[in-house]
Amino acid sequence: MQQIDWANLPFGYSDSDYNVRCYYRNGAWGKIEVSSSSVINMHMAATCLHYGQEGFEGLKAYTGKDGKVRLFRCEENAKRMQNTADRVLMAAPPVDLFREMVHQVVKLNARFVPPYGYGATLYIRPLLIGTSPEVGVRPSEEYVLLMFVVPVGPYFKAGFKPVDMMICRDFDRAAPLGTGTVKVGGNYAASLQSLELAKKLGFSSTIYLDAKEKKYIDECGPANFFGIKDNHYITPKSSSILPSITNKSLQQLAEHLGYVVERRPVPFEELSEFEETAECGTAAVITPIKKIVDPVTNTTFNYGDGVNAGPVCTRLYKEYTAIQFGEKPDLFGWTEVIDL
């Protein structure tokens, strides 16, 4: 059995022992099946391949200081997948089925759960796809929900360090009445070109402006954006932003810690008023931003000392991850223990 270098795990795919699958046929979900194959056999005319009937989620399992393995807000991921399914006319998996499959896939791959102390986690990827063959544009009659796991290190190699971002004006991630509020693969495909451009220019990621007017901050690459100003946690409200579970949780935590939370349109010009800015999501939790550059207007916004994360982002990150790793009491009921 190959030894895993827990201290140097990348954030990328690697094989585990098992995945779990559940099929929707004849109007009902079947029993959970266990597979050791990383291959999906499907018809070449499956709706997921041609018409984008696909949605996915991402969540993690954490080994705590006490040795217990915890999930973080699993039910929220299940509900978000249901919203995605409803938006693109797929069969929505019940919350209980989603949770049972998460627990089972973690237990089956217990040897891949990173031990406490390395900052590593077990990433869980649920995937829902339409599998019926169709040539006309119509929803599938059959679906499969599958889940696999991957032990991962930090999303950014530098860890909790500030990064540079680029304002993107030439591409839109999603339209206001499109699929931006759900987690379908097409949203990420739409972002690939701009993300690649940003990286070629030396930036970590892109910040999108609203597609309609190009006046307001929208998504921050594949994550949500927030800014800190005068003891306020401010995050964009938009009809094209994915409701991040991390952002939702950070808002609750910020209120608990005494900050005022504002979820509202954030004008581009307000970037000059923030004391701290960051992106947030499951992969990295919080990624502080030290510089935002708009190549079109030749405008640069700088934050902090350019080396370290600001005090509010640091406090939120430490408090948040302490709950995930069982280092502090979970006052919000976010975590659940998996009995391995």
* Cα gap 125→130, rounded to integer Å: 17
Q: Within the chain, which residues score under 70 in pLDDT? A: 1-2
Average pLDDT, the chain: 96
CATH of range 6-152; options 3.40.50.300, 3.30.470.10, 3.30.1130.10, 3.30.70.1380:
3.30.470.10
Give pLDDT, residue 299: 96
Catalytic annotation, pick one of 183, 212, 237, 291: 183
237 is catalytic: no
Identical fold between 6-152 and 163-324 = no
Cα three-residue angle 235-239-244, rounded to 5 degrees: 50
pTM: 0.96
Give pLDDT, residue 229: 98
* Cα gap 29→233, rounded to integer Å: 41
Give pLDDT, residue 305: 95
Give pLDDT, residue 155: 79
Give pLDDT, residue 159: 75
Structurally, at CATH architecture level, domain 163-324 sits in Alpha-Beta Barrel (3.20)
Buried b (16+ CB within 10 A) or exposed e, 112-135: bbbebebebbbbbbbbbbbbbbbe
Domain ranges of the chain: 6-152, 163-324
Give pLDDT, residue 242: 97
- DSSP at 8: G
